[in-house]
Amino acid sequence: MRKIHTFLYLGAVLLFFIPFYPCLYFFTKDPKKYFNQIVFCRKWISLFATTLVGIRFHVEYEDEENMDWSVPYVICPNHTSILDITALTYLCPQPFSFMGKVELLKNPVTGIFFRSIDIAVDRKSKISSFKAYKKADETLKEGKSLVIFPEGKIDDEYPPRMHEFKSGSFRLAIDNKVKILPVVIKDVWRILWDDGMKYGSRPGVVHIKILKPIDTETLTQEEFDELQRYVYDKMRTHWLQSNSI
């Protein structure tokens, strides 16, 4: 039954992608001009699909009163599921770009976004990594938020654990004096792990916790190791508390 649910979910994504496609085709001809419209389409394709198959999202804040969505962030979530993308589109009310693996360009749905508003990176290529970093830097300088999964990928371990973070998101935040926004997606792997092909999926509620933004205004690049460790330790603590693994 879980495998059937996964195929229903993937079918639902295509079901809603197809009617949006003509608009996306037009908008992606000039992604800078229609950035917000492309983000809007992505959000509702993903949310319509998850809603249809009974997947919901619940967001809580560590400090909701001081959360300011009018400023850009480098958003750093943990990564265990393809549903993490939908979780981010659900919780973030502002336009943003994802940075993700180059393989997403080959997917008929994600490819249209990674060829226009998102940033694809081949971590095995220094040239690709450099170009992706420069594009991410430009995105932040334009006042847009950027989502980077600091673990870099979904690992093969099941049940999953939180892996050590890579440095890119923290360097970008310090370079641009942009706040880091740690996001703990607590239990999505129980609903759909990775792409769902191995263990399937099921309806349920994905619980997300947005931690306090971390100011980088006074930090230097020499301090990024400390920042990286602090964010990792804080997110891992919340992850372990919610999953008991």
pLDDT tens sequence across 42-60: 999 999 999 999 999 999 9
- HSE-CB for 151 with a 13 A CA cutoff: 21
Task: Kindly tell me if the per-residue pLDDT of 244 is higher than 70.
Answer: no
Of 120 and 126, the one with more pLDDT: 120
The mean per-residue pLDDT over the stretch 12-22 comes to 97
Q: What is the pLDDT of residue 243?
A: 79
pLDDT tens sequence across 190-221: 999 999 999 999 999 999 999 999 999 998 87
Select from 178, 239, 213, 206 the least CA-distant residue to 63: 213
pTM score, whole prediction: 0.94
Q: 235 and 184 in contact (C-beta within 8 Å)? A: yes
The mean per-residue pLDDT over the stretch 137-152 comes to 95
The mean per-residue pLDDT over the stretch 84-112 comes to 94
The mean per-residue pLDDT over the stretch 185-192 comes to 96
Q: 111 and 104 in contact (C-beta within 8 Å)? A: yes
DSSP 192: B
Q: What is the pLDDT of residue 78?
A: 97
The mean per-residue pLDDT over the stretch 3-9 comes to 97
Whole-number Å distance between alpha carbons of 101 and 174: 23
The mean per-residue pLDDT over the stretch 116-130 comes to 91
Q: What is the pLDDT of residue 201?
A: 97
Please report, rounded to a whole number, the percentage of residues in the chain having pLDDT higher than 90. Answer: 86
With a CB cutoff of 8 Å and minimum separation 6, the contacts of 231 are 76, 150, 165, 170, 180, 182, 214
pLDDT tens sequence across 215-226: 999 988 788 889
Q: What is the pLDDT of residue 147?
A: 97
- CA distances in angstroms from 17 to 23, 45, 62, 226, listed in the order given: 10, 6, 34, 42
The mean per-residue pLDDT over the stretch 131-146 comes to 94
Of 221 and 145, the one with more pLDDT: 145
Task: Kindly tell me if the per-residue pLDDT of 65 is higher than 70.
Answer: yes
- Considering just the CA atoms, what is the radius of gyration of the chain in Å? 17
Of 179 and 245, the one with more pLDDT: 179
Of 217 and 244, the one with more pLDDT: 217
- Strands 119-121 and 73-77, by their bridges, are unpaired
